A and B are shown apart, each in its own frame.
Chain A
Amino acid sequence: MAKYITKRILMSVVTLFIIIFTLFVLVRIMPGDPFPVERMTAEMIELKRIELGLDRPIPIQFADYMARLLQGDLGNGTSLYNGAPIMPIILVCMENSFKIGVMSILFGSGVGLMMGIAAALNRGKFIDRFCTICSILGVCVPSYVFMIFLQYFFAYKIPFFPYFFDPSNFFFSAIMPAVSLSLISIATVARFTRNEMLEVLDSDYVKLAKSRGLYGFKLIRKHVLRNALIPVVTVIAPLVVDLLTGAMVMEKIYGVNGLGKLMVDAIAGEGIDYNYVLALSILFSSLYIGIMLILDILYVIIDPRIRLTAKEKV
């Protein structure tokens, strides 16, 4: 098992390295300068390029970048934010994105679980159909429609929640962004929970438990949920990464200072900020790779057969 895990970790590192290299070359051959040039003369632009070391061959720049990266230095912004160090700004944005993401996951999986359980326990009845329709809607309706709907009704028509996100009143103003993001997780978790629950409810050991006189909440909690939830957890993990990185629209609508918005700013500004684009891409890729790695390792621990089949194929 240790060998498999080592191999898997090494693969992740190589993947990350390839991603960094590709991105590094790509951002450098993209048209446009990494700083605003509208009011600068050609001579001033040239001086700036030399100052930033962009006149050197790309492999040398890359070696230099990697050397600094390995020391944990993400560098300074080139066009964005004053040429200030990147790290503190990414940390602030990450904190916002992360908190809202976690709120949304908690809310989404909570509601999703309840809906899934309710649907499974009332199979074929009204509640089941209602929950199924909701989860289909949740997958089909683009989440920004839901975001605008929420904002319009609960901040404008009924002005209860603040219209925009406000970091000085974090929890309250983050509710709507988080809820609007959670739609997809509600739908996914509800559907999965319902299917798994049904399977477990039909299984022999639940029938046995019932025949032994277990009933009601205790039965559901001890025997059904515990077995039904394992697959659900594996669905939630990739959702977490999606929520952390893919909330650009939500951040735009509610004015949240988060990672998605930061990425857009870095690309779509007057100059493409090389270092921000790289730093964020590295962050996003490592999150993905990291979560996938952990999941793979967990699978092996839970089910050693995975490792064996991998070996056989080699």
Chain B
Amino acid sequence: MNLKPKLKRFFIFPLIGLLFLVTACGRGTSENELKVMLGSTVVTLDTAHMQDSYSFEVVADCIDGLMQLDEKGNAIPAIAESFEVSADGKEYTFHLRDAKWSNGDPVTAHDFVFAWRRHCKIADEYAFIFDSTVACIKNAEAVIKGADPSTLGVTAKDDKTLVVSLDAPVSFFPALMSFPSFYPINEKFYNSVKEGSYGTSPDTFISNGAFTLDNYIPGTSNIALKKNESYWDANRISLKELRYQVVLSSDNALTAFKNGTLQVVKVAGEQVEHIKNDSELSKQLSFIPEGSLYYISFNQDPKNHHGGVLTNVNMRLAITNAIDRNSLVNNYLMDGSLPTYTAVPQKFSANVKTGKFFSENQDRYKDYVSFNLEKAREHLDKAKKELNRDEFNIHLLYSNDSGDRITKIVQAVKSQLEANLPGLTVTLQPVPKAEYLRNFSTDNFDIAVANWSPDYDDPMTFLNLWTTSNAKSTEYWSSAEYDKIISDCSTGNLAINYDARWDAMYKAEKILFEQAVIAPLFTNTNVILTSPKVSGIEYHTAGVDRVFKSAKVK
């Protein structure tokens, strides 16, 4: 046909043009640049509004608080060069070093006062960390409920001296100062940006920490940070650039790791087998305990819709002892998570004197919580007699939008309970996370798979959950003895006696298991792949999960 040559040109020219454009745009990677995976988007860099560990991690790259944690989790100075505690442990005086914000302003004690007052005034999700449940800062409760922020127990004696008054001594207060809620904000800069837009872009955010913000908007999939040359500890930082890529699927994460797009990724349990079979990849695999506890929560409200079956302690003990946690972890999750028989997760909160983790001894409560079929059935028989019933149907509430991991857990729990406890049927009740939280906090469930991540490095971050006054004491359970021990440990006479406090916390934990308030399942573990070129990333179980200040790329 006579139109063919012309048509060929019609096709070929655009194609050549496209190829030319494509090849012209290639881009290499630069040295000392670390590219890591982030499991979710960072929704804010404003510490007063933060709610998740990803935001904590990124803001901690950019901002230094009074203290920071070393690789073992001990508090070491950051912006505070030194500090003194009063004899009664209720007043801390921090002496600030000469540090600078990335806009050139000096970091002063006023920056802390401003940020803390603002945090309590805004009263978002993490405001509780200032009040008597955690930091015990004077007047925090009142300010959170609307009192004048200037009455908060924090004052700037001068530009370089910050005085914090507490209602009660807090043994882990210095470590707590590394938590992002206690980071400073430069008031002058804050007031210079448009209202509500602080921390929403590199133009509306300044840092005093290891990195400055290069590319960020809320919710972005790519965050780029650059080394902060004016950082007070700049010599320690060898990374020139730190880039975060949000990856939501673990399959994507693994391929991106294999082709070198990302150098640190988190993968899922079912990929571990595949990775272990690969001689190269298996060397780059590590299991990092996360310090978060998965447990079953029993709703003991007698009015709940299944006739208050779970008010029966034998029923709860039967369930607690009928779950094979080893099988749950090894056959279902397969990601190195640790079967747990304590209310405080494993590998969390080390004793400063012995160096041992709080829950090192997993057999401590084995009379109440274990995998023991004989005992489970014994309790079940008693429960049947006491309740005068042979058949039970209970609903298992869980949030179904946190991935298929939770589905595996509930399926394992359901099949184990139904096989091990004759007469019991478990109906799964999946709901979206928002509804889950609502049902959970209004006691609208039978049993629920719950998960708690620590906010600070002390067993109290867990034990506090089950006091009567705690709003999240969803278990409808209350014990005066338990409350007394917890309050003695946090604000009472035990607060400054380290050993006695530690023992009292074990006593409290025992009460939880005698009465089967919860059934612990496992301590969560992250499966991490790290490129052999990368070293020096520090992992923590509480607060800021990953720290890149000492990270190096060969």
A interface residues with partner B (beta carbon < 8 Å): 31-33, 35-44, 47-48, 76, 80-85, 88-89, 92-93, 110, 114, 117-118, 121, 151-152, 155-156, 159, 162-169, 171-172, 175, 215-217, 219-220, 252-253, 255-257, 261-262, 265, 268-272
CB distance from A23 to the nearest CB of B (A): 17
Q: How far is the CA of A313 from the CA of B217 in the complex (A)?
A: 52
4 closest cross-chain pairs (CB), A and B:
A32-B434, A172-B25, A82-B44, A81-B218
17 residue pairs of the A-B complex, CB under 8 angstroms, read: A32-B434, A37-B125, A39-B51, A44-B123, A85-B197, A89-B200, A89-B217, A92-B220, A156-B258, A164-B245, A164-B256, A166-B222, A217-B6, A217-B10, A262-B219, A268-B401, A270-B434
Given A163-B261, A216-B3, A269-B434, 8 extra CB contacts under 8 A: A31-B438, A38-B51, A39-B125, A43-B145, A84-B44, A92-B217, A268-B432, A271-B434
Interface residue from A32, A41, A43, A81 paired with B432 (Cβ < 8 Å): A32
Q: Given the interface contacts A43-B145, A82-B199, A159-B259, does A265 sit within 8 Å of B7 by beta carbon?
A: no
Nearest residue (CB) in B for A82 is B44
Interface bracket on B: 35 or more
Q: How far is the CA of A82 from the CA of B124 in the complex (A)?
A: 10
Interface residue from A40, A114, A165 paired with B125 (Cβ < 8 Å): A40
Q: Establish whether residues A215 and B3, one from each chain, have CB atoms under 8 Å apart when the complex forms.
A: yes
B46 within 8 A of A: yes
Nearest residue (CB) in B for A115 is B11
CB distance from A83 to the nearest CB of B (A): 6
Nearest residue (CB) in A for B440 is A38
Q: Establish whether residues B22 and A172, one from each chain, have CB atoms under 8 Å apart when the complex forms.
A: yes
Q: How far is the CA of A38 from the CA of B27 in the complex (A)?
A: 43
What is the predominant secondary structure among interface residues of chain A facing chain B?
helix
**One of B247-255, B376-384, B385-393, B418-426 contacting the partner:** B247-255
B26 within 8 A of A: yes
Q: Establish whether residues A81 and B200, one from each chain, have CB atoms under 8 Å apart when the complex forms.
A: yes
Q: Establish whether residues A216 and B258, one from each chain, have CB atoms under 8 Å apart when the complex forms.
A: no
Q: Given the interface contacts A40-B471, A47-B145, A216-B2, does A270 sit within 8 Å of B433 by beta carbon?
A: yes
B interface residues with partner A (beta carbon < 8 Å): 1-3, 6-7, 10-11, 14, 21-22, 25-27, 41, 43-46, 49, 51, 123-128, 144-146, 194, 196-201, 215, 217-222, 224, 245-249, 252, 255-256, 258-261, 401, 432-435, 437-438, 441, 455, 471-472
Q: Establish whether residues A39 and B261, one from each chain, have CB atoms under 8 Å apart when the complex forms.
A: no
Q: How far is the CA of A215 from the CA of B6 in the complex (A)?
A: 11
CB distance from B484 to the nearest CB of A (A): 21
Q: Establish whether residues A175 and B22, one from each chain, have CB atoms under 8 Å apart when the complex forms.
A: yes
Highest count of chain B CB atoms <10 Å: which of A31, A253, A262: A31
Q: Given the interface contacts A217-B3, A253-B252, A255-B245, does A80 sit within 8 Å of B437 by beta carbon?
A: no
